[in-house]
């Protein structure tokens, strides 16, 4: 039996006025390794984003969904250029059995992740514990996806390996604060 390779869908929610678009960086690097397994789409409005993920066929065939945006320290929400997306705004079961990763500072908090997972049906979620620099997040996720997509690491094993290397390893990596794995 031939195992199907995992596929990644990157959703960029960073305002174009920001200096860096982390989703775009991930896409450009990972696309070089296997362009058929990576897809990306940009959203600036909450409405367009919600309408897109509501249609199951748009994410069909993807095992991983990466949401690149900003977190909000004042509220449990993904901040988009035009609007905030709270857990209850996500369509029911829109990420059913998918691994969802957030590159949005401060979203690894129980008042966001727990209802998000319950509503969306996500299999697991990775999110930054607190503020993480753009370059650190990009390096962390590039390494994670490289291990998962091209070296057949399980999501948990890849998470542990990358955290050990870049956050908490023997040399106390430079990605301060690190990421958290929720299941």
pTM of the model as a whole: 0.91
Q: How far is CA 12 from the centre of its chain?
A: 10
Q: How many CA atoms lie within 13 A of 58 on its CB side?
A: 15
121-138: per-residue pLDDT in tens?
Answer: 999 999 988 788 888 889
Considering the domain boundaries, does residue 41 fall inside one?
A: yes
Considering the domain boundaries, does residue 147 fall inside one?
A: no
Count the domains in the chain.
Answer: 1
Please, which residues have CB within 8 angstroms of residue 162's CB and are 6 or more apart in sequence? 140, 143, 144, 147, 179
CA distances from 74 to 39, 48, 52, 129, 162 (A): 31, 24, 26, 15, 29
> In this structure, what CATH number is given to the domain that contains residue 40?
3.40.50
Considering the domain boundaries, does residue 167 fall inside one?
A: no
Host domain of residue 25: 8-134+177-182
Considering the domain boundaries, does residue 139 fall inside one?
A: no
Say what the pLDDT of residue 119 is.
Answer: 98
Indicate the Cα dihedral angle 144, 150, 154, 159, nearest 10°: -10
Considering the domain boundaries, does residue 62 fall inside one?
A: yes
99-112: per-residue pLDDT in tens?
Answer: 999 998 878 889 99
């Amino acid at each position: 039996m031939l195992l199907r390779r995992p596929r990644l869908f990157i959703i960029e929610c960073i305002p174009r006025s920001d200096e860096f678009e982390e989703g775009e960086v991930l896409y450009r690097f990972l696309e070089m390794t296997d362009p058929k397994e990576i897809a990306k789409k940009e959203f600036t409005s909450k409405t367009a984003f919600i309408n897109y993920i509501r249609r199951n066929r748009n994410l069909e065939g993807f095992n991983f969904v990466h949401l690149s945006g900003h977190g909000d320290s004042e509220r449990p929400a993904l901040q988009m250029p035009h609007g905030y997306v709270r857990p209850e705004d996500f369509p029911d079961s829109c990420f059913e059995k998918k691994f969802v990763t957030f590159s949005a500072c401060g979203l690894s908090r129980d008042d966001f992740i727990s209802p998000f997972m319950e509503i969306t049906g996500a299999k697991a979620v990775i999110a930054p514990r607190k503020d993480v620099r753009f370059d650190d997040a990009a390096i962390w996720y590039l390494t994670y996806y490289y291990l998962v997509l091209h070296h057949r690491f399980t999501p948990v094993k890849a998470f542990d390996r990358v955290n050990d290397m870049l956050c908490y390893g023997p040399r106390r990596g430079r990605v301060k604060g690190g990421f958290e794995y929720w299941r």
